[in-house]
Amino acid sequence: MKTATSNSKPIFWRDAHLPHVELRKVGDGREVCYAPHSHTQWSIGAITGGESTFQYRDNQYRVQAGDLVLMNPEWVHACNPIDNKLWAYLMLYVDTTWLTDLRFRAGLLPELRWQDISTATISDPIWFERYCSLAQCLLEPGHELLEKQSKVVEFLSDLMHELSKQPVATAPKTPGILTDLAHYLDDHAADDVSLDTLCELSGFSPGHLIRAFKQHFGLTPHAYLLNRRVQLGRHELKNGTPIAEAALNSGFSDQPHFQRAFKRLMAATPNQYRRGSTEHKVQATRRQQ
């Protein structure tokens, strides 16, 4: 039990010289459960042990060791263990703007604008091995910066070319008023937003507003706002902001509320996430010296 608990603690890899990528590693995910959430980044994960469920918008997949899972930015998802069985994984988060530029420069996008990817899972040992090789290069000390940068670009470039052969992902068009509400929540994520205000902006009744918003975004307005606040807090912690200050800057009334929300959506404590950032800043400083 002691070993499982130790392995369940996530490892977050970040490097100031590669600000567009971030890697998470969990050795035993039996104690790791996620509430439905989304990220601003494009994400790709590798199941390195056991199996789990992968809820991706309205679809659910059963994935196992050797599978890759792919998540578009802002698409609601959740991965969770099955019947307390072993589950280990790696997750790479890629800055959407950077990846859009990479795809555009490779001639894979008609304009410099993000285009969702239709593929949700990949079960191919070659791509799985390449992913794990990239993760190993990033996680293990001793690899030079140029090697890490080259492996990131090479892997993602090749994968984007492969995925471009698939049909373009299409999603139901979201009514403009709901899009405007989402943008309002984005802009006021750290504010005390009321349901009355959202109803005034949309002209909807409270019940209709909540149903319509969840139908198109996969989250209620409150869950959407909470998700945004956690992402704001994540950005603050990544930059080394103290936890209590990050909580207030992200719109949480106090640190305990921030701790609970962060743990539910990130399956890690704010301290675990921030510590990963601090450790790699120290490593980057040592390399410069």
pLDDT in tens, 10-69: 899 999 999 999 999 988 767 666 788 999 999 999 999 999 989 998 899 999 999 999
pTM of the complete model? 0.87
Query: What was the pLDDT predicted at 171?
Result: 67
One-letter amino acid at 199 equals C
DSSP string across 135-195: HHHHHSTT--HHHHHHHHHHHHHHHHHHHTTSPBP--PPPPHHHHHHHHHHHHTTTS---H
**Chain centroid offset of residue 177 CA:** 26
Check pLDDT > 70 for residue 278.
no
Residues 74-91, mean pLDDT to the nearest whole number = 86
Is 274 or 229 the better-scoring residue by pLDDT? Answer: 229
The pair of three-digit structure tokens given for residue 270, joined into one six-digit string? 């704010």
Whether the predicted pLDDT of 8 surpasses 90: no
Q: Please give the mean pLDDT across all residues of the chain.
A: 89
Residue 275: pLDDT band with limits 50, 70, 90: confident
**What's the CA gap between 149 and 138, in Å, rounded?**
9
pLDDT of amino acid 49: 93
For the chain, give every domain's residue range.
Answer: 2-163, 176-277
Among 165-169, 187-191, 193-197, 202-206, whose mean pLDDT is lowest? 165-169
pLDDT digits (tens, 9 = 90+) for 120-139: 999 999 999 999 999 999 99
Q: What is the pLDDT of residue 99?
A: 98
Distance CA 194, CA 135 (A): 42
CATH class of the domain defined by 176-277: mainly alpha
Q: With beta carbons less than 8 A apart as the criterion, state whether 206 and 223 touch.
A: no
Query: 3-state class of 243 per DSSP?
Result: helix
Give the pLDDT of residue 7. 60
* 93 phi-psi bin (left φ>0, alpha ψ -120 to 50, beta other): beta
Beta strands in the chain (DSSP E): 11-13, 21-26, 42-56, 59-64, 68-71, 77-81, 87-94, 121-122
**Residue 117, beta-bridge partner list:** 168
**Residue type, position 135, single letter:** A
Band (pLDDT 50/70/90 cuts) for residue 1 is very low
Residue 54: strand, helix, or coil: strand
The CATH class, in words, for 2-163 is mainly beta
For the chain, the C-alpha Rg in angstroms (whole number) is 19
The mean pLDDT value for 155-167 works out to 95
